[in-house]
Structure 1
Amino acid sequence: MARYVVATTGDIPVGTNKVVTVRGREIAVFNVKGAFYAFLNKCPHEGARLCHGAVVGLVRSDEPGTFEYTRQGEILRCPWHGWEFDIRTGQSWVDPENTWVKNYPASIERGGKLVEGPYKAEVFPVSVEEDYVVLEV
Structure 2
Amino acid sequence: MTGLQVRIAVADAPAAGEVRLLELDRHTIGLYRVGDQYHALADRCPHRGAPLCSAGRAVRGIALDHGIPTRGAGPALIRCPWHKWDFDISTGRCLVQPRLRVRRYRVERDGDDLIITLRHPTPEGAAGREPERAAFTP
Same-fold call, TM cutoff 0.5: yes
Normalised by the size of structure 2, how large is the TM-score? 0.66
| Distance across 2 between alignment mates of 1:9 and 1:15 | 15
- Computing the radius of gyration over CA atoms, which structure comes out larger, 1 or 2? 1
Normalised by the size of structure 1, how large is the TM-score? 0.66
- What stretches of structure 1 move > 6 A for 4+ residues in a row? none
Q: Summarize the alignment of residues 45-124 of structure 1 with structure 2, pairs less than 5 Å apart.
A: 45-51=47-53, 52-56=55-59, 57-58=62-63, 68-70=70-72, 72-96=74-98, 98-111=99-112
Structure 2 vs 1, CA of residues 44 and 28 (structure 1 numbering), >3 Å: closer, same or farther?
Answer: same
Deviations 1:64-118 (A, max 9, x none): xxx952474101111111011000010110110x211110101221259x9xxx6
| Identical-residue share of aligned pairs (%) | 27
With CA pairs under 8 Å and 6+ residues apart, which has the higher RCO, 1 or 2?
2
Q: Which runs of 5+ in 2 are unaligned?
A: 116-127, 130-138
| Distance across 1 between alignment mates of 2:88 and 2:37 | 14
Q: Which runs of 5+ in 1 are unaligned?
A: 61-66, 120-137
Deviations 1:24-51 (A, max 9, x none): 1111111112310001111111221112
Match of 1:19 in 2: 21
Structure 2 vs 1, CA of residues 59 and 103 (structure 1 numbering), >3 Å: closer, same or farther?
Answer: closer
Deviations 1:107-131 (A, max 9, x none): 221259x9xxx69xxxxxxxxxxxx
Question: What amino acid is the match of 2:96?
Answer: V
| Distance across 2 between alignment mates of 1:17 and 1:47 | 19
RMSD (CA atoms): 2.8
Question: What amino acid is the match of 2:58?
Answer: V
Aligned length: 107
| Distance across 1 between alignment mates of 2:95 and 2:21 | 23
Q: Which moved more, 1:70-79 or 1:39-48?
A: 70-79
Which has a greater percent of strand? 2
